Amino acid sequence: MKTLTDNLQSEGMARRQFLRYAGTGAAVMAGVLTMASCSKDHSATVVNDHVDLGSGDIAILNYAYALEQLEAAFYTQVAATPYSGITTYESALLTDIRDHEVAHREFFKAALAGNAIPGLTPNFSTINFTDRTSVLGAAKAFEDLGVSAYNGAGYMIKDVNYLALAGKIVSVEARHASLIRNLIAPGSFADSTVIDANGLDGAKSPQQVVPIANTYLSGKKILAPSLGIF
């Protein structure tokens, strides 16, 4: 059985250079090594029971599309079956957010065209849509996650036009996150649970985000070998 070092050398990848592409955790590193021989450049495909995001900028756009699908589905459910005691003000704001996420989702679908992943099937069984705390807690988690996902993937984008579009969306997600947090606890819009000592918002890698997103999917889960997600 080849050792870790042997695999690295046989693939022509010096360990120092490899670290440039390291995400987090030894499990990811081991995964990349075993898949390193796969050089097929693929666009988004359905592989067995998974959905592959593709490679390059397509993968990043599909990544965003996947997250927007989840958010759009969530808020569509929220608007369709509002929680007990929802106020007129809250209803108006949450309906707005739904419309934004649907617009984001449809935008990515249109922009990706033939390269788009299929529609994903959400699994919101852990959320109690009749309960304000459960719904707003989930909304906060989705929004904070979405912001950190865009922030963490931005540098991977090669086309400046795609970066510009991602930039236009992420600030709206941050506005959502801020509002949801203020609804839960006034003034908590950007507290130390999400903003660090330098005043920076979250930035998570696709390797960190996709497993979380996958917990909200039933049926086909997301994978993206090009982003180190297996």
Partner 1 sequence: MNLFNVIDEIQQVDPEFQDRISPRRDAIKNMSSFGTKIAVAALPFAFTTLFRKAYGQTATSSVNDVLNFALTLEYLEAYFYNQGLAQANLIPAGDKGYFTTVAGHENAHVAFLKSVLGSAAVTSPTFDLTAKGTFADVLTNYNTYLAVAETFEDTGVRAYKGQAGNLLGNQVVLTAALQIHAVEARHASAIRYLRASKGVSIKPWISGSATVFNDTGIAAVNASYAGENNTVQGGVDITTLNAVSGKTSITAAIEAFDEPLDKASVLAIVSPFIKAS
Where do contacts with partner 1 occur on this chain (CB under 8 A)? 15-16, 19-20, 22-24, 76, 79, 93, 96, 98-100, 102-104, 106-107, 110-111, 147, 150-152, 154-155, 157-158, 160-161, 163-165, 167-179, 182, 187, 189-191, 195-203, 205
Residue closer to partner 1 (CB basis): 163 or 223? 163
Query: Burial of 73 by CB count in 10 Å (0-12 exposed, 13-18 middle, 19+ buried)?
Result: buried
Angstrom CA distances, 88 to 79, 85, 91, 95, stand at: 12, 10, 5, 10
Residue closer to partner 1 (CB basis): 52 or 208? 208
Q: Least distance in Å: CB of 1 to partner 1?
A: 25
Residue closer to partner 1 (CB basis): 52 or 78? 78
Long-range contacts of 142-145 (CB under 8 A, 24+ apart): 142/70, 142/71, 142/74, 143/71, 143/173, 143/174, 143/176, 143/177, 143/180, 144/177, 144/194, 144/202, 145/67, 145/204, 145/209, 145/212, 145/213
Residue closer to partner 1 (CB basis): 83 or 189? 189
Residue closer to partner 1 (CB basis): 52 or 189? 189
Alpha carbon 64 to chain centroid, angstroms? 6
Cβ atoms 107, 204 nearer than 8 A: no
Q: Least distance in Å: CB of 97 to partner 1?
A: 9
Q: Least distance in Å: CB of 194 to partner 1?
A: 8
Q: Least distance in Å: CB of 49 to partner 1?
A: 28
Q: Least distance in Å: CB of 47 to partner 1?
A: 27
Residue closer to partner 1 (CB basis): 52 or 71? 71
Q: Least distance in Å: CB of 164 to partner 1?
A: 6
What is the spatial distance between Cα 60 and Cα 210, in angstroms, rounded to a whole number? Answer: 12
Position of tokens 């992420």? 170
